[in-house]
Structure formats: C-alpha cells, structure tokens
Amino acid sequence: MEYPHRIRGFSSATAGGSDSDAEIDSEDEARGEWEGNDGFHASSSGDPEEVDRVCKVIDELFALDRNMEAVLDECGIHLSHDLVVAVLIRFQHARKPAFRFFCWAGQKPGFAHDSRTYNSMMSILGKTRQFETMVSLLEEMGAKELLTIETFVIAFKAFAAAKERKKAVGIFELMKLYKFKVDVNTINCFLDTLGKAKLGKEMQLLFEKLKGRFTPNLQTYTLLLNGWCSSKNLMEAGRVWNEMIDKGFKSDAIKLFEVMKAKGPSPNVRSYSIIIHDFCKQKKMKEAVDSFYEMRGSGCQPDAVVYTCLITGFGNQKNMEMVYELLKEMKENGCTPDGKTYNALIKLMTRQQRMPDDAVRIYKKMIQNGVEPSIHTYNMIMKSYFQMRNYDMGCAVWDEMIQKGCCPDDNSYTVLIGGLISQGRSGEACKYLEEMIERGMKPPQLDFKKFAADFSRAGKPDIFEELAQKMKFAGKFEVSNVIARWAEMVKKGI
C-alpha cells in the first residue's frame, strides 16, 4: 500500500544536529504484558530482500485485492521457516494479513509449518485475544506433535492478560493431556510470567489453585513476593512474606542479598542490578549510587542494564549532569549501550525534556551502532513531534518506521491519526483508520475534548459528522460507524 506521506527529513542518514559524544554514546522501554520490546520472541535469518518482496505483496494487496494469495502463488517464493517467521514478525501487530499469509504458506506443497512458525502465529493471536483461533492452532500443533513449552507459555500469558482465569489454569490440564511434565519449575515459570506482567491477582490465584499439586520452593515465594511488589500491592507482599517465614523461608530480597555477600555465593551483576533498579524506582539515588560503587569494589563490572537503571533514575529527577557523566563513564569503560539504554535516553528527551530533535540524534547513533530500534522507539519520537505541533517531522517518523520494515502497532496508528486530525488532514486520517481496522486492530481512543475545542476554534464543530457521512457514501461502513461514534463523543465533551 502506498502511504500518504513520504516526507523526507527524519532519515537516519540526514537527520540534522551535532553529535556530542557525552550525550549520545551512551533506554526505560515500556514493557507491556508481553516479554521483550514487542512481545515477540521469534528471531529469523530469512533473506531480507525476499522478506521485503513478500511483505510488499501483502501490504499492497491485502486490503485492495482479495487475490493476494494468487499473486503470492505467482511470485516464485522459496518458502522456508525463516522466511515465514520473518514475515510474521513484520506483521506482528496486524493479525489479519499475518494469519492469511500463515494459512497460505501452510497450504503450499512441499512446505509444512514447524513449532517456530506456529508459535510465532500463536503469539500474534494471543496478543490480539483471538482465543478461538489460538486454541485451534494449539490443538492442530498437538495433533502434529509440534507443541513446545513456549506454546503453552504463549497461550497461558494470553489468557492471564485477558483475565480469563479458568482458561489460564486450564493450560495445565492441556499440558498433562499432551504428556508435558508439570513440576515446580514449570509452575514457577508461569508465576514469573504473570509477575512480570504485573498480573498479581492472576499470579496468586494460580498459586492457590495449584499449590496442592506441587511443593513450593524458595524461588516460588520469591516470585510471588516480587510479583506483588511489581504490582505495588505491599499488603499482599507482606502476606506472602509472612507465609514465607511460616514455611521456613526467612529471607526477603535485601536479606538474601546480604547473606550472599557474607556467606556466598557472591552477588553478581544481575543481583546488584535488581537492588539498584529498586533503589532508583524508589528515588533513593544515593543508595543506588552506593550500591553501584560497592558492586565495582567487589570486582563486578557494571553492564548496560545497571547504567540504564541509573540513567533512568537520574533522568526522572531531571539531573542531566549525572546522566551525561554516566554516559561518559560507559564509554570510558567500554560498556556498549543496548536498545534499552537508547530508548531510556529517547524517552528522557521526548517526555522529560521535550526535545525530539535530540531524540532523533540519539536514534541516529543507535542505528550507526547497529542497535535495532523497536516500535516503542518510533512511537515515542513520533508522539513528541506531534505534541510539539511539528507535523511534518511526526509524519516523517512514520515514514522512517515503515521504510525500516517496523510493523506499526495500535499506538502507532493512534498517534498518527490523532496528529493528522490535529493538523486538519482528516481525510488522510481516515485512510489510516481504515487501514488500522482492516488489519484487525481496535479503533483508537482519542482526546475528544481537545479535538472538540480545536474544531470549534477552527469553525468546524461538525467535522466528524461530515467525515462519517463521506465514509458512508464511499461504502466504508465500518469506518463510518467509528467516526460517527467519535462525533457523539465530541458532542458529549467526553
């Protein structure tokens, strides 16, 4: 599909501004309910040119032409599992084209999906809560003996995130049905998954439901404790702590840490990073720095994770002098920034400092150093430009994201559509709204009070009603209905 905007000016090769090594050579990425930048574990070594060719066909023909599969048939594509996974990664936020491609590939002679391609599709369906299709795929994998532990983790996490408690617990019954061992390590894995997703209630419910089937160990209670702390429910954390004591487990995280220092095994970088991260979250920067120097004194060299925690902590307190000092120290110590370091800096520049141009310079350095931006990277910068009413650069970020093969997610479309409407480019906003719906995404939630005020000042209080009528006349009824609901929201001042 040809995107309406091809505004040049954001390209990593041409973005303006001078580079300061202290500023740039140095990420708090919003981690959703799904592990990793975008919740997609699969990796692929598919041929980039072949992947681009397939994705272009899907992108151009999915919405406009129902003969997408026929065109793919004629392209002479050499199907491989790496290729399929790579294409699914590109469309990980667009379940409809992803699933059509997945089904097409599965029907091609000489090709059969394996555990990796199935799990990639399962992940997409799980994130978009397409549970019926997801379960069908799981059963299909079971019949073909392709199930893996990751399959069950994907399904479990999807049900838990949607608060489908019975279905989540039912995953364990499915594991038994398919002869997978359910022991304390398996259950701890699922508890950890829920805790990291800040699903404290679901985590505790699972524990209560299953604790008669296994013997909890220290890791079990530590995971429960950390899960409730992540959910900021100190009352429940205290209850778990008391239960740990009653069961003979007498160490919380800090006490365990002190015991490790005194009696061994010695704390490693990961142990220190947990403590430093906790201090930074509590805004106890002195304690965080003390732990940092203690770590170095013990012979542990800080890694990018530790530096990122401190950069985020000082950045949140708007102490930019310390941020630059930490970046300088990283460089001097030969510690290479990773994706999260860069995203923490970009977040700092866009949300705290309101300096999207500086965020672009960090993005440039990120690309130059071979670090792959995530969807969150682009969303932060694009949103910042639209908030600063620099619409051309906001659209240019979208272009860069598409050109880099990064699949837009719900938030990307919401930011772009809102920015276009604010600029008065409502017709183009409708094109993206239609594209968003066609890809299987939910319509965006917008700031209707703001739009109502802006439209009234511009003498266009009925713009959404007019757009709804235009879409209706064009036969785009689903888009028309969405915009009609927006018109009602504007009228009500919601």
> Within a domain: residue 241?
no
- 131-143 vs 165-177: helix crossing angle, rounded to 10: 10
Residue with tokens 């040049």: 8
Q: How far apart are CA 13 and CA 8, in angstroms?
A: 11
> Within a domain: residue 222?
no
Please check the confidence at residue 119 and state whether its pLDDT lies above 90: yes
Q: How far apart are CA 393 and CA 10, in angstroms?
A: 7
Residues with Cβ within 8 Å of residue 39, at least 6 apart in sequence: 32, 33, 123, 127
Full domain range(s) for residue 107:
33-162
State the first-to-last Cα distance of the chain, in angstroms, to the nearest integer: 34
- pLDDT exceeding 70 applies to what percent of the chain? 80
Q: Total domain count for the chain?
A: 2
pTM equals: 0.68
Reduced to 3 states (helix: H, G, I; strand: E, B; else coil), residue 180 is: coil
> Within a domain: residue 65?
yes
pLDDT tens readout for residues 339-379: 999 999 999 999 876 788 999 999 999 999 999 999 999 99
Taking alpha carbons only, the member of 94, 92, 88, 58 closest to residue 75 is 58
Tell which wins on pLDDT, 42 or 222: 222
Taking alpha carbons only, the member of 167, 225, 164, 166 closest to residue 191 is 225
> Within a domain: residue 186?
no
Taking alpha carbons only, the member of 58, 86, 89, 84 closest to residue 71 is 58
> Within a domain: residue 305?
no
Please check the confidence at residue 42 and state whether its pLDDT lies above 80: no
Listed residues 138, 162, 186: the one ending a domain? 162
Listed residues 137, 162, 187: the one ending a domain? 162
Please check the confidence at residue 66 and state whether its pLDDT lies above 90: no
Provide the residue type at 65 as one letter. Answer: D
Phi, psi of 406 (to 5 degrees): -90, 120
Q: How far apart are CA 33 and CA 230, in angstroms?
A: 12
Please check the confidence at residue 85 and state whether its pLDDT lies above 90: yes
> Within a domain: residue 270?
no
184 near 215, Cβ under 8 Å?
A: yes
Residue with tokens 């909890």: 216
Listed in sequence order, the DSSP H helices in 423-476 are 426-438, 448-457, 463-473
Give me the mean pLDDT over the 270-285 stretch: 82
223 near 274, Cβ under 8 Å?
A: no
> Within a domain: residue 60?
yes
Domain CATH code at residue 156: 1.25.40.10
Segment (H or E) for 102: helix 95-106
Give the per-residue pLDDT at 15. 41
376 near 28, Cβ under 8 Å?
A: no
Residues with Cβ within 8 Å of residue 294, at least 6 apart in sequence: 272
What DSSP designation does 49 have? H
415 near 379, Cβ under 8 Å?
A: yes
> Within a domain: residue 96?
yes
Residue with tokens 């409502």: 426
Listed residues 162, 191, 219: the one ending a domain? 162
Please check the confidence at residue 304 and state whether its pLDDT lies above 70: yes
Please check the confidence at residue 415 and state whether its pLDDT lies above 90: yes
Place 392 in a pLDDT band, splitting at 50, 70 and 90.
very high
Give the per-residue pLDDT at 238. 66
Q: How far apart are CA 440 and CA 436, in angstroms?
A: 7
**CA angle (47, 7, 427) in 5-degree steps:** 105
pLDDT tens readout for residues 289-301: 998 998 888 888 8
Give the per-residue pLDDT at 285. 93
CA 58 to chain centroid: 23
Q: How far apart are CA 407 and CA 92, in angstroms?
A: 7
Please check the confidence at residue 250 and state whether its pLDDT lies above 60: no
Tell which wins on pLDDT, 43 or 261: 261
Give the per-residue pLDDT at 240. 77
- pLDDT exceeding 90 applies to what percent of the chain? 32
Half-sphere exposure of 328 (CA within 13 A, CB side): 8
Please check the confidence at residue 20 and state whether its pLDDT lies above 70: no
**CA angle (453, 457, 463) in 5-degree steps:** 75
